[in-house]
Amino acid sequence: MTTLTDPPKAGFRLSQLLYDTRYRSITIQVIAMILVILGLYWLVNNTIQNLSALGKDFDFGFLSQPAGYDINQRLVEYSSQSTHGQAAIVGILNTILVAFLGCILATILGVIAGVLRLSKNWIVNKLMAVYVEGFRNVPLLLWIIAIFALMTEGMPQPRDFKVGGDASMILGETVAVTNRGVYVPGVVFESGWFASAAMNWLAVIVVLVASLLVIRVVRRRADAIQEATGDRPTTWWQQLGLLIIPAGLVLVLMGATMQYPYIRGFNFTDGIHLRNSLIALWLALSLYTGAFIAEIVRAGILAISKGQSEAASALGLRPNRTMNLVILPQAMRVIIPPLISQYLNLTKNSSLAIAVGYMDVRSTLGGITINQTGRELEGMLLLGAFYLVLSLLISAVMNVYNNRTQLQER
Amino acid sequence: MSETHAQSVSYVRETMLSEQEPPVTERGVIKWIRENLFSGWVNILLTVISLFVIYWALALVLPWAFGGVWNAGSLTECREVLFSFYKDSHDGACWAVIEDRWLQILFGFYPPELYWRPILAFVLFFVALAPVLFAERVPGQLIWFTVVYPFLATWLIWGGAVWTPILALLGFVAAFVAYKILSKVSGPIVANLGALVAALVWWGALMGPIDDSLNRMVGAGRLEDTVASLNQQAEDLPVQIAALEADAEAKASEIAAAVETKNALLVEMTEIRIEEFAIDQQIEPKEDAVQLLNGAEESIGQIEDILSEWGGVPEAASDSEADLADAEAAAASIDGLIADVNKFLGDALNDIESNTADPADVAALLAAGATQADASITEDIDALVAKSDLTDSLGDLIDLATGLTADASASDLAALRADIATASALVQSDVDTLDGIKDKIIAANASDLEAPQAALVANMAQLTQLRDEATTIAQDNFRISSQQTENRGFLTALNSLTERENSLPELRATTQELRDAVPSAYRNMIDVNQLPEDATSEDAAALNAYLGARNQELSVGASIRDTYAELGRVGLRPIDSRQIGGFMLALIIGIAGIVLSLPLGILLALGRQSHLFFVNKICVAFIEVIRGVPLIVWLFTASLLLNYFLPPGTNFDLMLRVIIMVTLFSAAYIAEVIRGGLAALPTGQYEGADSLGLSYWQSMQLIVLPQALKISIPGIVNTFIGLFKDTVLVVFIGLLDPIGLSNAIRADTDWNGIYWELFVFIGALFFIFCFGMGRYSLYLERKLQREHR
């Protein structure tokens, strides 16, 4: 009789590293690792040699040296005696400011344009198509410098606003659009709790956030009652009160008063001066990204099958409730992921500030600081790291939101 | 029964009524408009707003765009033409700048006589693209052209010897041959590595010497002929230059004559319009005066407001500091306003007194021409108020205003305000009359102006043509002069060639000798900076001498190579990267970026999908780092930092550095697009390939990638659109893309102050390209959807 025996157990042979799929993946990874390490070593070695040939070292000490240059738009205290590190922070805040403002306006524009592009109204539809295609197919840089040129070349000078001049302020004599920028009313704290205006604002924002948290509790309770009894208690006045009263109280306690810009000499004083560079960058970024968001919103709404809206009408829901309760919650799931990447694009595109001289982080840390200290390597590394961290942060935050909306899917 | 029934029903229709037309409101255009534009109040509002926006935009843009000037030599001339047609620079575009510079915006500073090279490369691009995009409609052999195309296009655009691209291509052949041979002997890993090594060895070690020896071989045989022809040219070229200079002078005098004619025409028109200008001069100060009077009226209104708010003269209600301060501030602002009123009135009086004329004088001014043409003008002049009346009433007002104090009564203020309003109305009526006169003069002059206007337009066209011809002559002249300079340099180089070749061994020996003198620890240093602190000054001197000698040796060697390359070149005239610019630069960077990044992108996408932990993580890190940082930072890295990362002494073209950076950048984006394509393939495809027993690379090559890449084409096109638009960012590191050129054009004194025409032109170029590609990608998407069903 025959006996079944295992094939002879061969020991490990070297050729298995190449031919046996069990081991080959290890070989490939080791080779890849060696190649990558060799490559990195080559780059680092070259850098070290080049740096030493130039008589430079690798040192971030320049961040604590005095910067010696002024920044025309600053959200925190800064003077030319401050350090390069502080200049970088001012730049970072300016980048975040324009990115934040841009994201908000771009979303508003994008949603409006996206919804209107789906309108049955032929004229509105085509008008929005012109907007979307016009902005999507022309470089952003061109829009930025065009809007900047419009502001500096097309707007009246501040002295034209004097009595007897040709220009006049808009929105009830409160906002002046001039070729030096836009002057809008500002809020000053006469008896603020903190010395700097930024801290006072922070206090207001903290109160607002706290109010929002309380409002959420109120809404949860209303939801619970609705679940239990079917009746939803009227809470809008509670919500409104909670939103307005605490923040308003804080503002009153800190002696907040509106300060309107007015012309003095040949220029405006008081109020907030939004420079042309900020306005041009903000508008161009928003209009450009808004065009992309419009397409995303349109695609998101189109992705919801017609049966959904038909079923909603069959249930007797009115069109706006159909939109709010049926279409949008589903469309949001399609819309959010590409929307995140548009926010990221906008943030990265804000580095085009260089075209109009807006003092963002690229202009301070990655521009003047590098030129003054000759630390290209360190400066560019920090700049790249900042954008990378900011991008990862935004995508992380938005991914959390995305996961929460996605969870409702069954 | 039935009969009675028949009687009671007098008429029964036996046939169906023919269908009636729907009412007017329910058919055709009206129905469409009602349903689509006016179906509800929101819709009506939207329609009205949109129509208003469209009207506003068109009213702003169309007259400007179509009322523009196409023939002019500078912005000033544009304005002259516009002015002679009663327009200012807001009413008409100065398209002349585009007419003058469009070739520059398209090609940068590429030599005009060689434009055929990039154009040919661009046309061939579509031929090379055909097998990829329309595989089913073109012969399969065309794919070989696609493979060769990148080398061909590089050669066409940059020029140089014909064998350089062939030698570069041979690197891939070497890799392929090595792969084939090794894969027969051993496994794919060894074969792939072998192919890589073979290609690197070819490009790194063999290609340069072969190129040099080819140049040398061809060059050595040509030396004498070249020297002879250069000498011949040295005699011929000055003659040509002299001829061209004579031509240029003739053209210059023609242009000067045409400019004379233009100026004469402008003077003629000014003389015809002189009365109009005279009236303008009367209108302006009066308009100013009206504005100043209105300002005074407004200020008095503000005084009244403050007084009524305080119920009289501002007085503090209590002794509290705040109240006192308030009252003081109010009193101060009243004083300020009173001062304002006085100033405004004084200025207005001054305007009228010193800058306007009496009606009689105005009549005298106009007596000559227009009054005869239109008799009613005389009546209008009679309607003007005498200057003395105006000044008197203003003088009275000033007397009243100087007496104004903070305790003025409300009635006084009201009376003063009313008086000012009357005076203002009086001046305004004068302004209106003068405007009427002006219109009549313009109407009277219209026929007289027609002839010079037409002559001016014709003259401008002629002038433009003359200038174009002059530019051509200047370009020829420049070309021949620079050829002359180059020839001289080349001749000197050829004459010293033997000498330099003979000196080379000696230089080598010196370098070796000096190297031996340097302590062995320091021999590999590339700069004296690298010496440690404790190095002696002798060592430093020795190192310095060695480095100097080595540099000299290398530069002599390089100069010999350059001379031979020029001498032995069989091919096209080489073009410097700095000469490439404009839209062509954007296209080159965009296309090169996408094409070069495709292989890398595919590898990255496969790596990101791979189960090999380490490979996967490297790919993810690369993709995320590249995508997380803006392109502009990468471009600055290319221009500032790339030299740090490469071996000491490497220094190459900025454009090439940009292309490398853009390639890495777009590879990350392409990788994500292809990853989407890979993910979109049903898992059955992967499993099917595995079950057939195909290896990983076989299954990728034969099953997965052909399908995944096809799905990815729309995404790749979209990435290309984004990259193409982003190429304008190279302006920030000093390359001349369209926007950089628009800045350069604006820096020219002729076109200083021109914005919108350039923006519109550049924007339109980009729009046409990107919109076209976007449509194409949409079409592909639809086609793919259909094919998938």
Instruction: Give tens-digit pLDDT for B114-171.
Output: 999 999 999 999 999 888 877 778 888 888 898 899 999 999 999 888 888 899 999 9
What is the rounded CA–CA span in Å between residue B737 and residue A141?
A: 12
**Residue A290 and residue A299 in contact, taking contact as beta carbons nearer than 8 Å:** no
Q: Does residue B633 sit at the A interface (CB-CB below 8 Å)?
A: yes
Question: Which of the 8 DSSP states describes residue B273?
Answer: T
Identity of residue B349: L
Q: Are the Cβ atoms of A29 and B613 closer than 8 angstroms?
A: yes
Residue of A nearest to B769 (CA): A137
Q: Does residue A55 sit at the B interface (CB-CB below 8 Å)?
A: yes
A150 lies in which domain range? 84-157+276-405
Residue of B nearest to A384 (CA): B629
Maximum alpha-carbon separation in chain A: 121
* Residue A72 located in a structural domain: no
What is the rounded CA–CA span in Å between residue B73 and residue B99?
A: 10
| pLDDT for res B1 | 47
Which of residues 517 through 576 in chain B touch A, CB cutoff 8 A?
525-527, 529-530
Which of residues 339 through 398 in chain B touch A, CB cutoff 8 A?
340, 344
When CB atoms are compared, the residue of B43, B525, B618 closest to A121 is B43
Q: Are the Cβ atoms of A127 and B37 closer than 8 angstroms?
A: no
What is the rounded CA–CA span in Å between residue B158 and residue B138?
A: 29
Residues of chain B neighbouring A393 (CB-CB closer than 8 A):
none
- Work out the angle between the directed axes of helices A122-136 and A84-117 (0-180°, nearest 10): 150
Find all residues with CB under 8 Å of B654, minimum gap 6, and list them: B577, B638, B639, B733, B734, B735
In angstroms, the Cα distances linking B52 to A117, B48, B83, B233 are: 18, 6, 30, 68
Q: Does residue A407 sit at the B interface (CB-CB below 8 Å)?
A: no
| pLDDT for res A295 | 92
Looking only at the bridges linking them, the beta strands covering B571-572 and B160-161 are: antiparallel
Burial class (CB in 10 A: 0-12, 13-18, 19+), A153: exposed
Per-residue pLDDT averaged across B419-435, rounded? 84
C-alpha distance from B131 to closest chain A C-alpha (Å): 27
Give residue-wise pLDDT tens across range B262-312.
Answer: 889 888 888 888 888 888 888 888 888 888 888 888 888 888 888 877 777
Decide: helix, strand or coil at residue B398.
Answer: helix
ipTM of the complex: 0.86
pLDDT band at B403 (very low <50, low <70, confident <90, very high): confident
When CB atoms are compared, the residue of B187, B525, B771 closest to A19 is B187
Q: Does residue A229 sit at the B interface (CB-CB below 8 Å)?
A: no
Q: Does residue B420 sit at the A interface (CB-CB below 8 Å)?
A: no
Q: Are the Cβ atoms of A124 and B756 closer than 8 angstroms?
A: no
- A284-298, A327-341, B215-229, B749-763: range with highest mean pLDDT: A284-298
When CB atoms are compared, the residue of B525, B611, B618 closest to A36 is B618
| pLDDT for res B157 | 92
Residue B551 in tokens: 């540099």
| pLDDT for res B789 | 47
Q: Does residue B743 sit at the A interface (CB-CB below 8 Å)?
A: no
- Contact pairs from chain A to chain B, CB under 8 Å: 180
Q: Are the Cβ atoms of A376 and B641 closer than 8 angstroms?
A: yes
Q: Does residue B731 sit at the A interface (CB-CB below 8 Å)?
A: yes
Which of residues 577 through 616 in chain B touch A, CB cutoff 8 A?
611-615
Residue A260 in tokens: 């309107």
Find all residues with CB under 8 Å of B691, minimum gap 6, and list them: none
In angstroms, the Cα distances linking B2 to B5, B8, B15, B719 are: 5, 10, 21, 84
* Residue A124 located in a structural domain: yes
Q: Are the Cβ atoms of B612 and A28 closer than 8 angstroms?
A: yes
* Residue A225 located in a structural domain: no
Q: Does residue A146 sit at the B interface (CB-CB below 8 Å)?
A: yes
CA angle B135-B139-B143, nearest 5°?
70
Decide: helix, strand or coil at residue A182.
Answer: strand
**Residue B195 and residue B176 in contact, taking contact as beta carbons nearer than 8 Å:** yes
Average pLDDT value over all residues in chain B = 85
Residues of chain A neighbouring B732 (CB-CB closer than 8 A):
354-355
Q: Does residue B308 sit at the A interface (CB-CB below 8 Å)?
A: no
- Work out the angle between the directed axes of helices A84-117 and A328-349 (0-180°, nearest 10): 140
Which of residues 231 through 250 in chain A touch B, CB cutoff 8 A?
none
Q: Are the Cβ atoms of A124 and B47 closer than 8 angstroms?
A: yes
Closest CA to B673 of B576, B608, B584: B608
- Work out the angle between the directed axes of helices B207-272 and B163-185 (0-180°, nearest 10): 140
When CB atoms are compared, the residue of A52, A139, A380 closest to B530 is A52
Per-residue pLDDT averaged across B327-343, rounded? 81
pLDDT band at B639 (very low <50, low <70, confident <90, very high): confident
Give residue-wise pLDDT tens across range B581-606.
Answer: 899 999 999 999 888 889 999 999 99
Q: Are the Cβ atoms of B648 and A50 closer than 8 angstroms?
A: yes
Place of tokens 């961040």: A63
Residues of chain B neighbouring A51 (CB-CB closer than 8 A):
644
Give residue-wise pLDDT tens across range B479-496.
Answer: 999 989 988 888 888 888
Give Rg (Cα) of chain A.
Answer: 29
**Residue A185 and residue A176 in contact, taking contact as beta carbons nearer than 8 Å:** no
Q: Does residue A51 sit at the B interface (CB-CB below 8 Å)?
A: yes
| pLDDT for res B201 | 92
Place of tokens 């009201």: B414
Which of residues 149 through 168 in chain A touch B, CB cutoff 8 A?
149, 153, 163-165
Residues of chain A neighbouring B618 (CB-CB closer than 8 A):
32, 36
**Residue B96 and residue B73 in contact, taking contact as beta carbons nearer than 8 Å:** yes
Identity of residue B377: I
Burial class (CB in 10 A: 0-12, 13-18, 19+), B540: middle
C-alpha distance from B647 to closest chain A C-alpha (Å): 5
pLDDT band at B374 (very low <50, low <70, confident <90, very high): low
- According to the 3-state scheme, what is the secondary structure of B600-656? HHHHHHHHHHCCCHHHHHHHHHHHHHHHHCCHHHHHHHHHHHHHHHCCCCCCCCHHH
Residue B771 has pLDDT above 90, yes or no: yes
* Residue A398 located in a structural domain: yes
* Residue A55 located in a structural domain: no
Find all residues with CB under 8 Å of B743, minimum gap 6, and list them: B731
Neighbours of A108 (CB within 10 A): 13
Which of residues 651 through 670 in chain B touch A, CB cutoff 8 A?
none
Q: Are the Cβ atoms of B644 and A163 closer than 8 angstroms?
A: no
pLDDT band at B568 (very low <50, low <70, confident <90, very high): confident
Strand partners, B94: B69
* Residue A204 located in a structural domain: no
Phi/psi at A185 (5° precision):
-65, 145
Residues of chain B neighbouring A376 (CB-CB closer than 8 A):
640-641, 644
Q: Are the Cβ atoms of B46 and A124 closer than 8 angstroms?
A: yes
Per-residue pLDDT of chain A (410 residues; tens, 9 = 90+): 456 666 666 667 777 777 777 787 888 888 888 989 999 999 998 888 888 888 787 888 888 888 888 888 887 778 888 888 888 888 999 999 999 999 999 999 999 999 888 888 888 999 999 999 999 999 999 999 999 998 888 888 887 777 656 677 777 777 888 888 888 888 887 777 777 777 888 888 899 999 999 999 998 998 899 889 888 888 888 888 888 888 888 888 887 788 788 777 677 877 788 888 999 999 999 999 999 999 999 988 888 888 888 999 999 988 888 888 888 888 888 888 888 889 989 999 999 998 898 988 888 888 888 888 888 888 899 999 999 998 888 888 877 877 777 655 44
C-alpha distance from A237 to closest chain B C-alpha (Å): 28
Looking only at the bridges linking them, the beta strands covering B160-161 and A186-189 are: unpaired
Q: Does residue B57 sit at the A interface (CB-CB below 8 Å)?
A: no
What is the rounded CA–CA span in Å between residue A140 and residue A351?
A: 11
Q: Does residue A251 sit at the B interface (CB-CB below 8 Å)?
A: no
| pLDDT for res B5 | 56
What is the rounded CA–CA span in Å between residue A299 and residue A293?
A: 10
Domain CATH number, residue A303 = 1.10.3720.10
Which of residues 752 through 781 in chain B touch A, CB cutoff 8 A?
755-756, 759, 762-763, 766-767, 770-771, 774
Place of tokens 């069989």: B570
Residue A305 in tokens: 């099958």
* Residue A360 located in a structural domain: yes
| pLDDT for res B786 | 73
| pLDDT for res B369 | 60
Q: Does residue A33 sit at the B interface (CB-CB below 8 Å)?
A: yes
**Residue B708 and residue B680 in contact, taking contact as beta carbons nearer than 8 Å:** yes
* Residue A94 located in a structural domain: yes
In angstroms, the Cα distances linking B657 to A358, B405, B646, B730 are: 27, 75, 11, 11
**Residue B162 and residue B570 in contact, taking contact as beta carbons nearer than 8 Å:** yes
Q: How many domains does chain A have?
A: 1
Which of residues 374 through 403 in chain A touch B, CB cutoff 8 A?
376-377, 380, 383-384, 387-388, 391-392
| pLDDT for res B4 | 53
Question: Which of the 8 DSSP states describes residue B367?
Answer: T
When CB atoms are compared, the residue of B50, B186, B291 closest to A124 is B50
| pLDDT for res A409 | 45
Residues of chain A neighbouring B614 (CB-CB closer than 8 A):
29, 32-33
Q: Are the Cβ atoms of B298 and A123 closer than 8 angstroms?
A: no
Residue of B nearest to A349 (CA): B630
Q: Does residue A47 sit at the B interface (CB-CB below 8 Å)?
A: yes
Phi/psi at B38 (5° precision):
-130, 45
Residues of chain A neighbouring B291 (CB-CB closer than 8 A):
164-165
Q: Does residue B637 sit at the A interface (CB-CB below 8 Å)?
A: yes
Q: Does residue B253 sit at the A interface (CB-CB below 8 Å)?
A: no
